[in-house]
């Protein structure tokens, strides 16, 4: 196994290159379904660094490979971002960004193009230091995660037959090790009424009024949801409201809300839907409760419809994949890492939550920067992440590959 100090030294040599690459990515607006330009910029960097194979699949994900060994290991970063919101809240242009000795600011800096920069240069470190062994490393830059987390990997597993032995999710973890997070689902609840002229509302039935007690019951339900000692409590919030009415001078004949439901351990989509359906106000209103379906095409025009259900996942701290990260971290930094969890959701919902392929998280940047104005990341963390990504395959093959349990193909529909 290569000495950790040599890997750290090499990662430090690429500090400026990683910063420059990240700033180039930030400068390219890349909201979900609009990622083509940033995918091509990543391809350019992979070509410059002599990746062994580069492919852009039909959905538009970029897949860069290093090595040709028998053990497939993957590292993933979604490269789409959310929008910038109110630009008045930004101290600098969110795409021109800002850089000083310590930070890089701009949309996508932490969530999560910083992870992409570190991964790509980890591959360069592997080549520079001859760390290749009996493994193939897949570096994936995936699309549409902000719109529909896990959709990209659902496609890659089902249609491209990509099934790694494990996947490192490079979402921001403040360079800690994250081993899971709550799942989520997107729920639509609809009430129906009868329209009439607004001057005589008693002639109709107002769908918005029917929704009012339901909103109060949902607020109360959130306080009663199940709690898990590691993942925390399930939650729900009403995130959107819509109506239908013939005019402003009419009684509304329809009202719908969107519910963001976070699922802790032991909760699934059927359980969550039934909790809402059993509310007294929902029954009285005869409201419809259903799961959303995601059908938006990728930038290539591909449609890959899926239900908006994103399973909970957790990997045990003693699992060989988690221990691979812990061991690598201790070798590089001579201290014990913090092992924790994300609050938000990642592509792990498909990789491990749906397909039981082990996942582990380690990324530069901080979770509280995600979707925030003045989003930033830290250069020291880019360097730190690149070093550990370069060491992970070597640690796995030399210490943990023979300890891996058999993957149970328990696919969640």
Instruction: Collect all residues with Cβ–Cβ distance below 8 Å to 246 and sequence separation of at least 6.
Output: 195, 253
Which of 35, 76, 80, 381 is labelled catalytic? Answer: 80
Nearest to 218 by CA among 285, 267, 264, 268: 285
Tell me how far apart the alpha carbons of residues 173 and 367 are, in angstroms, rounded to a whole number: 6
SS (H, E, C) 232-276: EECEEEEEEEEEECCCCCECCCEEEEEEEEEECCCCCHHHHHHHH
- Using alpha carbons, list the distances in angstroms from residue 251 to 71, 196, 258, 281, 291: 63, 5, 21, 20, 27
- String of DSSP letters for 283-329: HHHT-EEEE-EE----TTS----EESEE--EE--TTSHHHHHHHHHH
| 289 vs 273: CA distance, rounded Å | 7
- Per-residue b or e along 85-115, where b marks 16 or more CB atoms closer than 10 Å to that residue's CB: eeeeebeeebbebbbeeebbbbbbbbbbbbb
Q: Where are the beta strands (DSSP E) in 154-253?
A: 166-169, 177-178, 180-181, 183-192, 227-228, 232-233, 235-244
- DSSP letter at 195 equals -
The residue with tokens 């351990």 is 265
- Active-site annotation holds for 145: yes
Catalytic pick from 145, 171, 367, 381?
145
Cα 18-20-22 angle, rounded to 5 deg = 65
Which of 360, 254, 240 lies closest to 292, judged by CA? 240
Residue found under tokens 């004949």 = 253
Please give the helix or strand (H or E) that residue 74 lies within, else none: strand 71-78
| Chain centroid offset of residue 142 CA | 10
Q: Buried b / exposed e across 11-32, counting CB within 10 Å, b at 16+? A: beebeebbbebbbbbbbbbbbb
Q: What distance, in Å, lies between the first and last C-alpha atoms of the chain?
A: 41
User: Structure tokens of 53?
Assistant: 């194979």
Please give the positions annotated as active site: 80, 145
């Amino acid at each position: 196994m290569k000495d950790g100090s040599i890997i750290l030294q090499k990662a430090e040599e690429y500090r400026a290159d990683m910063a420059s690459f990240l700033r180039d990515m930030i400068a390219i607006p890349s909201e979900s379904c609009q990622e083509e330009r940033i995918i091509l910029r990543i391809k350019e960097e992979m070509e410059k660094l002599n990746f062994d194979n580069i492919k852009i699949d039909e959905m538009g994900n970029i897949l860069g490979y290093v090595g040709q060994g028998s053990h497939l290991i993957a590292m993933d970063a979604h490269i789409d971002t959310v929008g910038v919101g109110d630009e008045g809240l930004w101290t600098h242009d969110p795409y021109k960004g800002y850089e000083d000795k310590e930070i890089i600011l701009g949309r996508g800096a932490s969530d999560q193009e910083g992870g992409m920069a570190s991964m790509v240069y980890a591959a360069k470190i592997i080549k520079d230091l001859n760390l290749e062994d009996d493994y193939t490393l897949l570096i994936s830059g995936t699309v549409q995660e902000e719109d529909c987390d896990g959709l990209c990997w659902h496609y890659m597993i089902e249609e491209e037959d990509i099934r790694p032995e494990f996947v490192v999710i490079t979402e921001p973890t403040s360079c800690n090790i994250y081993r899971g997070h709550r799942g989520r689902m997107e729920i639509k609840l609809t009430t129906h009424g009868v329209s009439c002229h607004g001057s005589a509302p008693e002639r109709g039935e107002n769908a918005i009024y029917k929704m009012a007690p339901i909103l109060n019951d949902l607020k109360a339900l959130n306080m009663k949801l199940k709690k898990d000692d590691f993942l925390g409590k399930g939650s729900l919030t009403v995130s959107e409201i819509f109506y239908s009415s013939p005019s402003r001078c009419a009684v509304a004949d329809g009202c719908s809300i969107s519910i963001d439901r976070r699922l802790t351990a032991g909760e699934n989509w059927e359980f969550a839907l039934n909790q809402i359906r059993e509310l007294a106000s929902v029954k009285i209103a005869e409201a419809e409760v259903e799961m959303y379906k995601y059908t938006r095409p990728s930038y290539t025009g591909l449609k890959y419809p899926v239900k908006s259900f994103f399973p909970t996942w957790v990997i045990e701290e003693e699992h060989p994949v988690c221990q691979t990260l812990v061991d690598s971290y201790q070798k590089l930094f001579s201290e014990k890492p913090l092992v924790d969890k994300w609050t938000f959701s990642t592509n792990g919902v498909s990789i491990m939550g749906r397909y039981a392929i082990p996942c582990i998280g380690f990324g530069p940047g901080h979770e509280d920067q995600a979707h925030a104005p003045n989003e930033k990341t830290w250069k020291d963390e880019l360097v730190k992440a690149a070093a550990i990504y370069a060491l992970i395959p070597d640690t796995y093959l030399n210490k943990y590959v023979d300890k891996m349990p058999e993957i149970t193909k328990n696919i969640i529909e």
